[in-house]
């Protein structure tokens, strides 16, 4: 340890105590990767320390020290971002926020929860349900955080009943060490009287943090929307032979404005959910399961009083049947796993990614009418690269997910490519394929991803990039937050954008 690092360590101990800091290599290794870093093929350096603060005050103390010592900071809650966005590209401090795992309030009146960044979806769900409330789930694992999700995307899955953006107001420690509160919490005094209203005092500063990763500061508290648990909650499943009518059906159902969940997927996704990985290796078994699955599947989640749900079911059928859909007849076991999928990715659902952790997603948001062409373009590109399914060795067919946004005014289209991260030739192919997929999505279909990464930001207007990097410069004058790597909003990016 250098003399400077030893000084920093002493000062960190004063804030956190020895038990919440480590520079042991064995402790640092888990922080240097996620399921995406294999694909990026970047050497990630060892961070100097991992630190685990327990309060906003401790986070502030660490950030002040980081400025004093000019040392990089990389925040991380559960590190399941599947994007390589929480790893320490320039070493420094990894700020592990899992100790900050308190649910400060669950408010039945405002249907909100006030949470710290180490609170997981599962933990929040368990507590909310005690008050007849629930999370508005994402498709990801329960053992990840709503705060991390908000900082990444915060837009999936959704339907007409709930706002896509679940955040209300927040508290953050800015990279310069100051504390900010947003929305109706922004007042100097009395903020605690009403922290429940987002659209206060001009521009939407809560929204500024959405998709910002750690660039604009560390979120230490988030007021998040919950939903009321209905008397009856039920999913109905429909099968389609082709994509276009399925998207049309989803659109017409969403415009009834009654759904609490809605998702369209192809049978390659259903297969991964319905079958155990061992069954996927066995060609005969795999084909038998596949034969029972519809080409495309639309699941519609309904909720309400029982007579309301009965009526909704009829209304949904009236939209779907004339468009070529038919009820999907799953056996009970398959249906139970499919139902779990609509509640977020449970253990069983996660087996679709097992036993290989290599998981790349091609994401693009477009008007619904473009979903079919987008799907064709991605399938064609995957075929061109000759990608193989890591379990069966067969030509890879990407899994497809289509989720409606705001009454299906646009859709979120995700294609998933699973691969074996230990197969280095295969990884290179996936990498090249992914790049071409994104280039085609953006150039040919105007599709947008939801996260700011370097290559995607090169396609935005210089004025847009200048605003993003300008805000970063203002709140982070010493450039301590997330320097280097593909997700930084530092000034250098502006030069890249201007240089074309």
Ligand X SMILES: Cc1cc2nc3c(=O)[nH]c(=O)nc-3n(C[C@H](O)[C@H](O)[C@H](O)COP(=O)(O)OP(=O)(O)OC[C@H]3O[C@@H](n4cnc5c(N)ncnc54)[C@H](O)[C@@H]3O)c2cc1C
Residues that bind ligand X (CB under 6 A): 74-82, 85-86, 97, 117, 138-141, 144-145, 147-149, 151-153, 156, 213-214, 218-219, 345, 350, 353
65 within 8 A of 175, measured Cβ to Cβ: no
Which residue has tokens 């038919």?
A: 326
Helix (H) or strand (E) holding 424, with range, is: helix 424-445
Q: Which is nearer to ligand X, 97 or 274 (CB)?
A: 97
Q: In degrees to the nearest 10, what's the CA dihedral of 34, 144, 177, 74?
A: 0
Q: Answer left, alpha or beta for residue 190, where phi above 0 means left and psi between -120 and 50 means alpha.
A: left
Q: Which is nearer to ligand X, 224 or 309 (CB)?
A: 224
Reduced to 3 DSSP states, what percent helix, strand and coil does the chain have, rounded to the nearest 5? Answer: 40, 20, 40
In the complex, minimum distance from the CB of residue 297 to ligand X, in angstroms, rounded to a whole number? 16
Q: Which is nearer to ligand X, 341 or 441 (CB)?
A: 341
**The tokens of 180 are what?**
């900010």
Question: E-assigned strands of 182-330?
Answer: 218-225, 227-228, 232-240, 261-266, 296-304, 326-327
Q: Which is nearer to ligand X, 437 or 489 (CB)?
A: 489
In the complex, minimum distance from the CB of residue 78 to ligand X, in angstroms, rounded to a whole number? 3
In the complex, minimum distance from the CB of residue 498 to ligand X, in angstroms, rounded to a whole number? 25
Q: Which residue is nearest to ligand X (CB)?
A: 148
Instruction: Show Cβ contacts of residue 145 under 8 Å, excluding neighbours closer than 6 positions.
Output: 77, 78, 97, 117, 118, 119, 120, 121
Q: Which is nearer to ligand X, 254 or 399 (CB)?
A: 399
In the complex, minimum distance from the CB of residue 314 to ligand X, in angstroms, rounded to a whole number? 29
* Strand 49-51 relative to strand 93-96, pairing: parallel
**Residue closest to 51 by CA, chosen among 17, 82, 2, 3:** 17
Q: Which is nearer to ligand X, 89 or 238 (CB)?
A: 89
In the complex, minimum distance from the CB of residue 171 to ligand X, in angstroms, rounded to a whole number? 10
**The tokens of 353 are what?**
């990614």
Q: Which is nearer to ligand X, 320 or 400 (CB)?
A: 400
In the complex, minimum distance from the CB of residue 390 to ligand X, in angstroms, rounded to a whole number? 15
In the complex, minimum distance from the CB of residue 134 to ligand X, in angstroms, rounded to a whole number? 16
In the complex, minimum distance from the CB of residue 353 to ligand X, in angstroms, rounded to a whole number? 5
Is the peptide bond between 355 and the residue preceding it cis, with omega within 30 degrees of 0?
Answer: yes
Q: Which residues of 451-470 are buried (b: 16+ CB within 10 A; e: fewer)?
A: bbbeebbeeeeeeebbebbe
Q: Which is nearer to ligand X, 323 or 351 (CB)?
A: 351
Residue 357 class from Cβ within 10 Å (0-12 exposed, 13-18 middle, 19+ buried)? middle
């Amino acid at each position: 340890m250098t003399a400077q690092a030893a000084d920093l360590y002493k000062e960190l101990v004063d804030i956190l105590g020895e038990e919440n800091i480590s520079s042991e290599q064995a402790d640092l290794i888990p922080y240097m990767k996620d399921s995406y870093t294999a694909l990026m093929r970047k050497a990630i350096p060892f961070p100097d320390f991992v630190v685990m603060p327990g309060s906003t005050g401790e986070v502030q103390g660490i950030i002040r020290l980081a400025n004093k010592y000019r040392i990089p900071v990389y925040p991380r809650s559960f590190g399941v971002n599947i994007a390589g966005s929480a790893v320490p590209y320039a070493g420094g401090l990894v700020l592990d926020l899992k100790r900050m795992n308190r649910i400060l309030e669950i408010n039945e009146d405002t249907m909100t929860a006030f949470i710290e960044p180490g609170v997981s979806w599962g933990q929040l769900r368990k507590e909310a349900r005690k008050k007849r409330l629930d999370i508005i789930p994402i498709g990801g694992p329960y053992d990840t955080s709503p705060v991390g999700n908000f900082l990444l995307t915060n837009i999936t899955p959704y339907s007409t009943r709930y706002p896509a953006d679940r955040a209300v107001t927040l508290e953050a420690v800015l990279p310069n060490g100051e504390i900010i509160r947003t929305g109706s919490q922004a007042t100097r005094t009395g903020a605690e009287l009403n922290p429940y209203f987002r659209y206060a005092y001009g521009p939407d500063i809560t929204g500024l943090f959405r998709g910002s990763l750690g660039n604009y500061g560390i979120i230490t508290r988030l007021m998040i929307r919950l939903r009321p648990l209905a008397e009856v909650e039920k999913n109905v499943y429909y099968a389609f032979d082709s994509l276009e009518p399925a998207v049309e059906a989803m659109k017409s159902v969403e415009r009834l404005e009654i759904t609490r969940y809605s998702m369209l997927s192809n049978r390659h996704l259903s297969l991964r959910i319905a079958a155990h990985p061992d069954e996927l290796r066995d060609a005969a078994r795999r084909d038998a399961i596949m034969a029972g699955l519809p080409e495309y599947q639309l699941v519609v989640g309904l909720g309400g009083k029982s007579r309301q749900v009965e009526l909704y079911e009829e209304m949904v059928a009236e939209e779907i049947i004339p468009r070529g859909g038919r009820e999907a007849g799953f056996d009970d076991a398959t249906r139970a796993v499919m139902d779990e999928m609509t509640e977020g990715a449970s253990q069983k659902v996660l087996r679709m990614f097992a036993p290989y952790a290599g998981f790349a997603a091609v994401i693009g948001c477009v008007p619904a009418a473009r979903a079919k062409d987008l799907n064709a373009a991605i399938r064609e590109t995957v075929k061109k690269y000759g990608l193989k399914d890591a379990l069966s060795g067969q030509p890879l067919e990407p899994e497809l997910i289509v989720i409606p946004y705001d009454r299906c005014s646009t859709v979120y289209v995700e294609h998933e490519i699973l691969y074996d991260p230990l197969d280095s030739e295969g990884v290179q192919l996936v990498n090249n394929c992914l790049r071409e997929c994104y280039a085609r999505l953006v150039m040919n279909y105007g599709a947008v991803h939801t996260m700011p990464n370097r290559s995607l930001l090169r396609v935005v207007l210089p004025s847009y990039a200048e605003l993003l990097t300008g805000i970063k410069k203002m709140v982070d004058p010493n450039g301590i937050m997330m320097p280097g790597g593909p997700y930084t909003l530092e000034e250098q990016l502006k030069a890249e954008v201007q240089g074309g």
